[in-house]
Structure 1
Amino acid sequence: MALITSLYSARLRTRIIAISQGTFTACHLSGPVVGGMFAAMHWWRGSFWAMAPFMLAFAALAYAKIPEQLGDESARHRPPSPPLLRLAGLAAGVCCVAAAGPVQALPLRLLLIAGGIAVVGLIFRLDRRAANNLFPARALSLNAPIGLGLWILALHGMTQTSVNLFLPLLLQVVHGVSPVFVNFLSIIISCGWTIGTFAASGWSGARERLALASGPVLAFAGLACLTLVAVQPVLVLLAASTLLMGIGIYNVHLVARTMASAAIGEQRSLASALTSVRSLGTAFGAAIAGVVASTAGLGAATEPQAVGHAVTMVYLFCWVPFGLAAVCMFRFIRLALPRLAAAPFAD
């Protein structure tokens, strides 16, 4: 993201981000196909060797084409020492959350999740006072576009992980469908994200504001429909709900506007924060969803009724982070697009 912001003009950034995410989606969908081909040949190591030429070619192109210094950053004669203590603290917080997964006792599981949240919050607080920051200033602030953008990404990561985590269980146990159909729904979510990203990447002015405002609303509507039809024998509606939830028309503009709000020298830290904060949301979402499912009676249940009830409760819980993401998005629009907020229909 730092490279995109530094090497491309504002007019091209959303399109480049869309191409980048579309490429990732294509690789995400074709990867299992390539792996399956080598598995059919009983040579699974070949799938790793097949990636070597692409990795070497990418490394050579990156070395040849990427400038040594970004245009908006000053040259450094000596790189700062890595913040090992804060990195270890973040790893410890994520490990606390991950350790809550297999724990059966609900109080201990809640304690581990709370401990992980406390550790990660402490690391963010220490990072604000450090000389070499891991995260940009005001990374968690609700009064700055950077903080709001990171919160939106974390909340969406929390929700989408929880939905995808329990979707195969719902489909196979409650609806009795094959794993092929489960993969089909995963492809639908990815395709919805890619189609929405490419369709809205060239929008500007009032249409950009529309994409930012409607994206979380459409995702919430898709999640609400998915929750209502989760245990109903209507797979077409379930597939349509996942497609609606996966439409990502807001993402390129959210990332571009968040990167544009970074101060000089913060673009690299913000670029890494966009990924790491979303990953933190993913970890916390999976752990909390496990707690909700266990509390709803999932446990070792294999009966369709018990599994359907537990998954529905998880999806109801997901309404909270998706709703908070929508609220954060409307505040993000007010702060990051002040002129459009004053004249919403002016292009």
Structure 2
Amino acid sequence: MSDTAIRPKEPAPRLSSLFSRAHVFATLMLGGGIALHAVETYITATLMPSVVRDIGGLPLFAWATTLYVAASVMGASFVAVRPEGVTLNHCYRLGAVLFGLGSLVCALAPAMEALLAGRAVQGLGAGLLVALGYSFIRFVYPERLWSVASTLYAAVWGVATFLGPTVGGVFAAGSAWREAFALLVPICALMAFAAPRLLPSGESERITTGAPLAQILLLLGAVLALSFAGSVEAAALRAGLAGAAVLAVAAMVTIERHAKARLLPAGTVSLSSPLARVYLIMLTVLVALASDIYIPYFLQELHGVRPLVSGYIVALLALGWTASAFLVAGLSGRRANRAILTGAGIEAVATALLAVTLARHNPSGGYGPVLAATALIFAMGFGVGLGWAHLVTHVLHLAPEGEKDKASAAITTMQALGSAFGAALAGVVANSAGLAAPGGVAGAETAAFWLYLLLSLPALAALMLALRLPETRGGTG
């Protein structure tokens, strides 16, 4: 009998393994970086209605998210193309400093334009911190813990589900949104101090190709063009800007296919590449998910929900992500791929049904429509969480040797681009459907209907892409 036949089956790794003596400090730091980004996301989502009531700028509402995630693309890209000698732990320190500086600018902002500048600086820091979370996985943990470490990030988002809206809602109720941003500054300072002391350097052999500046600028140009399209009133100009965004993406793909300095790992601009399909699924599920940026506004304007309660309701999206991530953390092979496929389908259906439940005027504050919308918001996140950790594992396994850092950073790039394009597209749809003009209840109702109906389509695209995924290692399930 062979050794393989008599070897006992290795037990499935547990989340507690990440907190063993060998890993605990690195886990706390990496989880802290994700937590900083996640908690701030829900703080801002809860605060934005109060911000626009205080300093104005409703037509720029979506830009608070768009600029944040567009800047995070640049931050994430820096991890992969950083100069020789710049270690990952020093990148982490830079990310914490930038996040703190951006938070300070937001806290002091006299107008929406200044707040948007602060959000852009925050985004640079967030891009670094989130990308480093994935980049550090292979330095801190053995391979059998990679999927579990990805699940940890879902757990962190679950904690943010409660902390973010609580902090944001308390400060919004007291019209003290500036203090909510200022609260993040000392936390960032502590993390910047601890990073070089608690994290490994994170250096390994990698292929250095230079900075893919042309591709980054084209992608950012596409995001900004689409965002401007959501802010202008002239239909012809709006269509022209949307067309320019499409052309910029096409130009980026063309350059990436032939460039030596690449933004993505080799071969990932072709749908024949399994890694390309994994990245596209990540992108499209997050484009659909970005429709959540308007949920607090619609809840408050159409259903009379208080800021604190609306923050908790939108945070259920992250709670759904967390719950499903734990349910499927041990899956592999065909079962993991089925989880990805099922999750995309759930997200598509839930998003489309919000066009019926959330997009209706409920002046009496009846519980029925609010509870139905709440369940669907939870389902949106539940769908994404079913597949996300398995998508991350696919990337780590499929990445070419020498391009592991680039592949890991590209996870955050896809996250940022999905959120940026989703937020920009949401702005186009909402403003085109009457959010700002005619505005009011009628405008919000129409905008919500078209927003959730149309943004269910990217989740359907993810479902189609998931039909042709390779199996993850570990068996067929």
Q: Does 1:242 align with 2:377?
A: yes
- Deviation, 1:43, is 9.6
Q: Is the 8 A contact 2:209 2:262 kept in 1?
A: no
3-state SS in 2 of match to 1:100: helix
Q: Is the 8 A contact 1:218 1:245 kept in 2?
A: yes
User: Hey, what's the Cα distance between the residues in 2 that align with 1:315 and 1:46?
Assistant: 33
1:343 maps to which residue? none
Question: 1:141/1:271 Cα in 2 relative to 1: closer, same or farther (>3 Å)?
Answer: same
Question: What code does the residue aligned with 2:387 have?
Answer: Y
User: Hey, what's the Cα distance between the residues in 2 that align with 1:302 and 1:131?
Assistant: 48
User: Hey, what's the Cα distance between the residues in 1 that align with 2:226 and 2:241?
Assistant: 6
Question: Which of 204, 222, 226 pairs up with 2:332?
Answer: 204
User: Hey, what's the Cα distance between the residues in 1 that align with 2:454 and 2:190?
Assistant: 44
Question: Which of 147, 155, 162 pairs up with 1:14?
Answer: 147
User: Hey, what's the Cα distance between the residues in 2 that align with 1:212 and 1:309?
Assistant: 32
Question: Which of 174, 183, 189 pairs up with 2:311?
Answer: 183
- Deviation, 1:220, is 1.9
Counting aligned pairs with the same residue, the percent is 27
- Deviation, 1:30, is 2.8
Give ranges in structure 1 of 5+ residues lacking alignment: 341-345
Q: Does 1:326 align with 2:459?
A: no
User: Hey, what's the Cα distance between the residues in 1 that align with 2:331 and 2:472?
Assistant: 14
Q: Is the 8 A contact 2:282 2:414 kept in 1?
A: yes
3-state SS in 1 of match to 2:295: helix
3-state SS in 2 of match to 1:101: helix
2:425 maps to which residue? 288
3-state SS in 1 of match to 2:438: coil
Deviations 1:29-76 (A, max 9, x none): 535656768x699796454124312331133212xx24422xxx35x7
3-state SS in 1 of match to 2:231: coil
- Please say which of residues 281-290 and 105-114 is displaced more in the overlay: 281-290
Larger RCO (CA under 8 A, 6+ residues apart): 1
3-state SS in 1 of match to 2:310: helix
Q: Is the 8 A contact 1:145 1:258 kept in 2?
A: no
- Deviation, 1:315, is 0.8
Question: What code does the residue aligned with 1:299 have?
Answer: A
Deviations 1:275-324 (A, max 9, x none): 22232232222233333233433332344344212211111101211111
Question: 1:58/1:47 Cα in 2 relative to 1: closer, same or farther (>3 Å)?
Answer: same
Q: Does 1:168 align with 2:296?
A: yes
Give ranges in structure 2 of 5+ residues lacking alignment: 1-133
Question: 1:58/1:126 Cα in 2 relative to 1: closer, same or farther (>3 Å)?
Answer: same
Q: Is the 8 A contact 2:166 2:308 kept in 1?
A: no
Deviations 1:163-187 (A, max 9, x none): x122123212221111122101122
- Please say which of residues 112-121 and 301-310 is displaced more in the overlay: 301-310
- Please say which of residues 310-319 and 8-17 is displaced more in the overlay: 8-17
Question: 1:55/1:264 Cα in 2 relative to 1: closer, same or farther (>3 Å)?
Answer: same
User: Hey, what's the Cα distance between the residues in 1 that align with 2:306 and 2:183?
Assistant: 28
- Deviation, 1:210, is 3.1
Q: Does 1:229 align with 2:366?
A: no
TM-score (norm 1): 0.84
RMSD of aligned Cα (Å): 3.0
